[in-house]
Homo-oligomer: A and B are copies of this chain.
Amino acid sequence: MYAKSFSVHPLSGVLGAEVKGVDLSVPPPPALSASLAGSLSHYGVLFLRSVPVTAEGMEGLMRSFGAHRRSFLVTTGATSPRGGAECHHSEDCIALMTEPYGNKPSSRVALFHVEGLPSGGAESIWSSRAGAYDALSPAMRAYLDPLHLLPSAPGASRRPLVAAHPLTGRRHLVIGAHCEGQILGVPVEEGDLVLELARNLLSAPENQIRISWEPGMVALWDCRLAQHYAVGGYGEPGWRLRCICASGAN
């Protein structure tokens, strides 16, 4: 049976695990998708290296994470796009797609498949929103738990500052490292400092994992638990990055 060779290897720190023995050349069977979903809700981000990958296989995996999916290809520089819509405003676009609370319906899970890299290589960081929450004192968590944020983005609606993961119940911050907005129900100066504290924790190396991309590598992350940051952005020529985001009921 398939699941025999499937293994999960936690990486050091507060988030991230490496998955071995998965074949994405075909849509994974339901049992494997369920296992990966469970690991994802625990580790926040999963990495697959040197796995067979096809568009059909990735699409099949992402189908298990949500009824609504968007797929786009980021290319930079001289590379001409083959298949899929090219993303001309890649940074904002990717941030929008992978930020769980910035769009409707919210992305629950995002996948990157690196088809091509800048010649100097590239790295990414994921910050743990759960680790940032855990790094606060119990008294500060009790202070934050009932608060709501009104994001600065036009048309944004209020949302809790802290949420529990639907599968595991684990509590985590519902903000990003560059989140702007106003915390409701407290004085402005107080809310601003609280947001700064939350942002600082997301920027702390202790709450992050950093990886070097390799050609063919796949990263899969839970957009609620983990925030992605592309070190240096996507400005270098040579990127050829397949992004798939899934959202929907859960």
A-side residues, CB < 8 A to B, are 11-13, 120-123, 125, 135-137, 139-140, 142-143, 146, 185-187, 189-190, 193-194, 196-197, 200-201, 203-206, 210, 212, 229, 231-232
A13 CB to closest chain B CB (Å) equals 7
Q: How many monomers of this chain does the complex have?
A: 4
In the bound complex, what is the Cα–Cα distance between A30 and B139 (angstroms)?
A: 46
Q: Assess whether A12 is in contact with B189, with CB atoms less than 8 Å apart.
A: no
Q: Assess whether A204 is in contact with B189, with CB atoms less than 8 Å apart.
A: yes
In the bound complex, what is the Cα–Cα distance between A108 and B143 (angstroms)?
A: 33
Q: Assess whether A136 is in contact with B231, with CB atoms less than 8 Å apart.
A: no
Q: Assess whether B121 is in contact with A12, with CB atoms less than 8 Å apart.
A: yes
Starting from the known contacts A12-B120, A193-B197, A210-B210, 17 additional A-B residue pairs (CB-CB under 8 Å) come to: A11-B212, A12-B123, A12-B212, A13-B123, A125-B205, A135-B187, A135-B189, A136-B190, A137-B185, A139-B143, A140-B186, A189-B200, A193-B193, A205-B229, A205-B231, A206-B231, A206-B232
